[in-house]
Amino acid sequence: MATEIDIIMRGPMAFEWARKTLEAMEANSVWPTAVNYELWMYYVAAKDSRIAAEIEQVLKSGAQFTEQVGEEIASRHLPSARLNGEILDAGKNLSAELNTVTRAIETARETSEAFGQQLASASVTLEDKDAGDVRSIVETLSAATRKVREENQVLESQLADTTGELSRLREHLEQVRRDASTDALTMLFNRKAFDEALETACRDAAEQRGIVSLAVIDIDHFKIFNDTWGHQTGDQVIRYVASVIGRMAEGARIAARYGGEEFALIFPGEDRDAAFSVIERARVEISTRILKRRSTNEQLGAITISSGVAETMHGDQPVTLIERADGALYASKRNGRNRTTLADKNSASQGA
């Protein structure tokens, strides 16, 4: 769902939607927190969303839309709220497990200290004792030994349980990390993960005197298509284009959803000619397939993409690499779309 709002807020109606959202919040006495604003943006601009339906239900019931109500809706539907909650829960579980182990270790330590004291005392007491006294001391030591053994068994059991729980928490946190870096609609990397990956790739290339190529890709005439067929069908198109681009991300390559209908593909260690060839394969595959609307089986026609490819030059930062790739993308748009353009060259390929 967040992707739908991203698309809306990147469109020409963004300021109008923002104004209407604030007006609706004020009319319903909703405090303008960041979470409430995001929720009410759905209510105003995405009426068919689940968030809008829940807000409408609250309003029809006559209840006040409080911060608590907003947080409850956000926890169910907003990805960031869910991830924060999962991280918090995992942290609490981890703390509880560590506290349990700490208490068990402390108990075992105290028992071992007591056993050591009994052994030392027994060593002194055994001197000049008769058989009856020795028997009593041995029985006492035997009981202490059993207690230490039992405490150690309890500790071993708790450590085994905790090891399993920590393994589960580690897997859960790894999944949370993946969710935090993944675009929910396309399952490619999201913009934040893209920025981090490009930063790393450029830094590694500079340190190793290597190269990085970057392709930025945009679906042609997507706004017109989206307005004609609706957001759900628009999402279908975005997912299809993402699937093709994702298949091109072999080896060290990284595919990401850069914006609403924009994508990016990072090519660590590959020059722009290699990147150009890969993007051309994707362009041809996408443009030669006729898509159908899932709900009605209507033909949507052909989808085309325009792309720009740039390669790092001496002293390049990620932002300058993006700017040159963007410049090549705009050249593709100006020259008729459905083509790939290399930055700093007049080389382009156009589909039939």
pLDDT tens track for 286-327: 999 888 777 777 787 789 999 999 999 877 889 999 999 999
pLDDT, greater one: 153 or 114: 153
Mean pLDDT of 196-211: 92
Please enumerate in sequence order all residues whose Cβ is within 8 A of that of 143, keeping only pairs 6 or more positions apart, or say none. none
151 assigned to active site: no
pLDDT above 60 for 1: no
| Residue 193, number of CB atoms within 10 A of its CB | 19
pLDDT above 90 for 116: no
pLDDT above 80 for 27: yes
Scan for tokens 């809306």, then name that residue: 8
Residue 141: what pLDDT? Answer: 62
Assessment of whether the complete model's pTM goes beyond 0.75? no
Residue 10: what pLDDT? Answer: 58
Q: How far apart are alpha carbons 322 and 309 in whole angstroms?
A: 9
Mean pLDDT of 271-296: 90
pLDDT, greater one: 254 or 51: 254
Q: How far apart are alpha carbons 215 and 206 in whole angstroms?
A: 19
pLDDT, greater one: 113 or 257: 257
Going by DSSP bridges, is the β-strand pair 339-342/348-350 parallel, antiparallel, or unpaired? Answer: antiparallel
Q: How far apart are alpha carbons 179 and 181 in whole angstroms?
A: 5
Q: How far apart are alpha carbons 96 and 114 in whole angstroms?
A: 27
Q: Which segment, 86-90, 127-131, 236-240, 335-339, is predicted with the most confidence on average?
A: 335-339
Instruction: Indicate the helix (H) or strand (E) that contains 200.
Output: helix 191-208
pLDDT, greater one: 69 or 83: 69
Name the packing angle between helices 67-77 and 50-61 (round to 10°): 150
Give the least confident one: 174-178, 209-213, 223-227, 256-260: 174-178
Cα atoms in the Cβ-side hemisphere of radius 13 Å centred on 93: 18
Q: How far apart are alpha carbons 98 and 107 in whole angstroms?
A: 14
* Mean pLDDT computed over every residue of the chain: 79
Mean pLDDT of 82-111: 59
Scan for tokens 């759900």, then name that residue: 232
Mean pLDDT of 24-39: 83
Fold designation for 191-350: Alpha-Beta Plaits (3.30.70)
Residue 183: what pLDDT? Answer: 87
Contact 46, 1 (CB under 8 A): yes
Round to the nearest angstrom and report the end-to-end CA distance of the chain. 35
pLDDT above 50 for 202: yes
Mean pLDDT of 7-15: 63
40 token code pair: 């009410």
Catalytic residue among 4, 38, 151, 261: 261
The angle subtended at Cα 109 by Cα 104 and Cα 113, nearest 5°, is 150
Mean pLDDT of 36-56: 84
Contact 255, 263 (CB under 8 A): yes
Residue 35: what pLDDT? Answer: 77
Residue 134: what pLDDT? Answer: 58
Instruction: Indicate the helix (H) or strand (E) that contains 279.
Output: helix 272-287
Residue 348: what pLDDT? Answer: 46
Phi then psi for residue 24, to 5 deg, are -65, -40
Residue 3: what pLDDT? Answer: 47
Residue 125: what pLDDT? Answer: 57
* Cross-strand partners of 311: 213
Q: How far apart are alpha carbons 104 and 193 in whole angstroms?
A: 41
Residue 234: what pLDDT? Answer: 85
Mean pLDDT of 53-69: 86
pLDDT above 70 for 80: no
117 token code pair: 């004291």
Mean pLDDT of 110-129: 58
Residue 12: what pLDDT? Answer: 61
Mean pLDDT of 161-168: 66
Give the least confident one: 92-106, 183-197, 208-222, 287-301: 92-106
Contact 341, 323 (CB under 8 A): no
252 token code pair: 């060290």
Mean pLDDT of 166-194: 77
Residue 1 per-residue DSSP state: -
Residue 42: what pLDDT? Answer: 85
Instruction: Return the domain boundaries, the chain.
Output: 2-77, 81-180, 191-350
| Category of 337 on φ-ψ map: left (φ > 0), alpha (ψ -120 to 50) or beta | left
